[in-house]
Amino acid sequence: MDRTQQEKKVPGSTWTRPKRFDRNLVVIGAGSAGLVSAYIAAAAKAKVTLVEAQKMGGDCLNFGCVPSKALIKSAKIAHQMRHADQYGLAAVEPKVPFSAVMERIHKVIAEIEPHDSVERYTGLGVEVLQGYAKLIDPWTMEIALNGGGTQRLTTRAIIIATGAQPFIPPIPGLPEVGYLTSDTLWERLRDRPTAPQRLVVLGGGPIGCELAQSFARLGSEVTQIEMAPRLMSREDEDAALLVEASLKADGVHVLTNHKAVACGTELGETWIEVESNGERRRIGFDEIIVAVGRAPRLRGFGLEELGIKVDRVVETNEYLQTLHPNILAAGDVAGPYQFTHVAGHQAWFAAINALFGDLKRFKADYSVIPWATFTDPEVARVGLSEAEARDKKIPHEVTRFGIDDLDRAIADGSARGFVKVLTVPGKDKILGVTIVGEHAGDLLAEFVFAMKHGHGLGKILGTIHIYPTLAEANKMVAGQWRRNHINGFLLSLLERFQTWRRG
């Protein structure tokens, strides 16, 4: 659809396209999608401006992936100290100076920060402006600079990469009790000498599970509340149940099938009221973390005034173009996945289509999307889950290898979990993989590569894997698939041949 046709669809479209442009590309947002987009544009010698209102690096560096993984590591060390007797050592109850744990997290952020800094991107040829951008028309934006004043730029193309923020459910009384989110807890709890004594985690998805387990291991009495019948509803039930069992073993009070209906304070006691099977009860807490999902940041950028729908995510086509072909979106604002690595993946398509779309466009490729939840054990997946294949009536076979039978896992004391592979019936073509266990996110990479490049389980089976490593689990499941597909008739002929050879 050409630009003239597009403008007819937008009420009151009386904009005049500039004859000359100040920039080839302006990117709004300096998270993963924005940084990668700006980097690609600079590498292609385009004149590019990156606009960020808050912190460079976006949610992943400052509030999400980086601080949460640093927290998980500290919590895991505390857990190992508490269970050192499983390794022939004396178990000890760890002393947890929580402020020191939080300070380490901020040091980790600071150490990674230069990778995403203004200085680095300026050095790469990107102009970085810190302020709030608003679109005036499809080619013009005005930036309210953080240091004062405004700047107006015209540009051939724009990429919206403004990320997401925690979704806050409309629970009566919740704003008044002073909730935390995965964005705010790192500063709000920074100077606490101890972890919150009584902590409620609202939400049973990946963020909720990671935080619930970590805080429990660091000494909090954690209650996790989830409306659904089980935790981690996007994963297969066998994977979710292993994680739930692990959380319970760490002391997390898991309440599934419980709906939060109200929050409040009475006689100095802060509480949340939950309902299950028609019955209500109150749970007291010192802090509550809301982790029920994330909503794209879409308001205040002038998108609505340009006729771009912002109901849930920015509406784009398969080239990541919005209603206006020169305005594209990437990352959490575009969906359909909210992962840092997917945001970076989309950014390549958005940047190339923004810069060269008049010559050639590329469809965003979501054929092989991996992800992981970094609980202990980890859960990692790519492609179809068993439940999805069943619900969609996609023919498949399931091959499973229990990590409890893997030599390295036994030696490491991490012999729990499994590798589950879905394949086309009778063939080794991989449709999906779920791994539960130590370093599942790392182990998944081999299957991601295989699926991306059309390799089947036979190729994995024929690849040498170092002994003893956890990666052998991938070869073991491929070997299990092979054993499941041995031709009985050929085996019978082979047995007769060997008998004949003995004379």
CA distances from 228 to 173, 224, 354, 384, 449 (A): 22, 12, 41, 21, 33
Q: Which residues pair with 134 in a beta bridge?
A: 142
| Number of structural domains found in the chain | 3
Structural domain ending residue among the three candidates 248, 266, 292: 292
Residues 260 and 333 in one domain: no
The answer to whether residue 92 sits within a structural domain is no
Residues 351 and 245 in one domain: no
Residues 338 and 211 in one domain: no
| pLDDT mean by block of 10 residues, the chain; 503 residues | 40 78 97 97 98 95 96 98 97 97 98 96 97 96 95 97 96 96 96 97 98 98 97 97 98 98 94 96 97 93 91 92 96 94 97 96 96 98 97 98 97 97 97 98 98 98 98 98 90 89 87
Q: Which of 371, 353, 377 is nearest to 363 (CA)?
A: 353
The answer to whether residue 326 sits within a structural domain is yes
CATH of the domain at 443: 3.30.390.30
Residues 243 and 311 in one domain: no
Rounded CA separation 487/441 (Å): 34
The answer to whether residue 498 sits within a structural domain is no
The answer to whether residue 372 sits within a structural domain is no
Q: Which of 51, 36, 28 is nearest to 314 (CA)?
A: 28
Residues 47 and 139 in one domain: yes
Range of the domain at 416: 377-488
The answer to whether residue 102 sits within a structural domain is no
CB 177 within 8 A of CB 282: no
The answer to whether residue 459 sits within a structural domain is yes
CB 159 within 8 A of CB 354: yes
The answer to whether residue 62 sits within a structural domain is no
Structural domain ending residue among the three candidates 252, 275, 292: 292
Rounded CA separation 234/243 (Å): 13
CATH of the domain at 46: 3.50.50.60
Neighbours of 156 (CB within 10 A): 21
CB 456 within 8 A of CB 430: yes
Rounded CA separation 135/300 (Å): 9
Give pLDDT, residue 13: 63
| Parallel, antiparallel or unpaired: strands 48-52 and 294-296 | unpaired
Neighbours of 462 (CB within 10 A): 10
Give pLDDT, residue 310: 83
Q: Which residues pair with 321 in a beta bridge?
A: 328
Structural domain ending residue among the three candidates 257, 292, 327: 292
Those residues whose C-beta lies under 8 Å from the C-beta of residue 494, and which sit 6 or more positions away, are: none
Residues 281 and 314 in one domain: no
Residues 330 and 427 in one domain: no
For 76, list phi and psi in degrees, rounded to 5.
-70, -40
Residues 388 and 445 in one domain: yes
The answer to whether residue 503 sits within a structural domain is no
Give pLDDT, residue 490: 86
Cα Rg of the chain, angstroms: 26
Cα dihedral 186, 381, 443, 484 in deg (nearest 10)? 160
